[in-house]
Every structure is written in C-alpha cells, then in structure tokens.
Homo-oligomer: A and B are copies of this chain.
Amino acid sequence: MNDRSHSPGSVRPGGRTARTREAVLSAALDELAEKGYAALSVEGVAQRSGVHPATIRRRWRTVEGIMCDALTQDSGRAIVIPDTGSLRQDLRQIAQSIGGYYMVERNKAFLGGIVSAAGRDSFAEDALRDTLSVRLRLASEIVHQAIKRGELPPDTDAEEVIAYMAAPLYYRLLVSRRPLDDRLPLVCADAAYHAARAGVFSLPGESAGAASETDEPA
C-alpha cells in the first residue's frame, strides 16, 4: 500500500509519536473544514497543532501526505456490518451510516480534501483506492449473507452491489453538489436492492445480467 510511504507504520500507540500524529491530523481536518483544501498548508497545520513545521515536513512531507495519513487513520474507524436478516434493511443501515457520516460538515470537507489530494498526488490516489476497496470488501458481507439466504442470484458481484448503493451519495456530494437528506440513503439502498434482485450485478459471463436483452418486469 503506497500510502504507507506517507504514514508512520510503527508508531507506539499512546506514545509521543502517536500524540503528535493525532494533533497534526486533527489540526489538518479542522483547517480543512474551516478554510478548504486550497488554503490547507503545512504552516497552517503546524500553527494550529503546535507541532513544528520541520517535524511535519519530515514525517508527512506535504498536505497530501497528511491527507493520506488521515485517510489511513479514518479507515481504521470501526464499520458496523448489520445483520438484520434482510438485505434491504442491511443496505439501508449501511447507506444511512454513510449518509450520516457525510452530513457532518467536517467529514464532508475531509472527503473533498481526499478527492482533491487524490487528483494531485498518486500516493493519495492509491490510499483512496485502497481504503475504498477495503470498505467495499467489509460491507459486501451483507450481500454474501443475502446470497446464502437465497435473496440474490448466487453469481451476484457482492462488492458491486455495495458500490452501486454508495455511488449516488458520493455523486450528490462531489458532482451534483447538493446537500444530503434523510431520504437519499433509503433510495440508494432500495435502488441497489431491486437492481441486485433483478440480477443486474451478476458477474460477467456467468449469467445474463447486464448483457441480457430481456426486459423482465421489476
């Protein structure tokens, strides 16, 4: 994982190194939320965190390096994988937790910062890609359970179901740039649910899926 090269792999948890890291990452997220990515600077983070700029440059090199490490830290955030016994309800719970997370202005600003960093720095792009793929893999457990229960075709691409459920939330945040609301996660979950039930996410070659020309009623 390239983002390692940006983040200290061997901090003693609770030690001074860990406290410095916490101070720097937290200051960076505050700066980002207050001033935006364009104004994010090592100097600003140093001033807010009380950590010397040279220390920050030595360990994180650039603001993109700080973003990578913040993402690594964030990706350690525990994800609760629901198990309600219903795929639709499981999807709704995950969509609601993603939506709730990004309704917090600071988290929304963090996403904007990460995406900007990914557009400017290949380490940040790799860190984003790696983090997302880990999240998708974890969350896709609800789809595997649904397949076991017979709710979905056995050849369903589990991670694709989760990606399609999450995509409209990120589209709203990054592209159409309108505020999230409480309804969106439910619509996201239900859309992914019905598409999955219809076999749209069947792995290519193994069944009709998206290649099918039949317009079976939904």
Contacts and interface: CB of A to CB of B under 8 A. Distances in A.
Contacts of A186: 210-211
Nearest to A188: B164
This protein's copies in its complex: 2
Chain A interface extent, by class? 35 or more
B36 A120 contact: yes
A176 B165 CA distance: 13
A200 interface: yes
B190 A191 contact: no
Given A128-B175, A168-B163, A170-B170, A119 B38 contact: yes
Given A36-B120, A196-B218, 15 more contacts: A38-B120, A115-B115, A132-B176, A163-B172, A167-B175, A174-B174, A174-B175, A186-B211, A187-B201, A190-B198, A190-B210, A191-B201, A194-B200, A197-B218, A218-B218
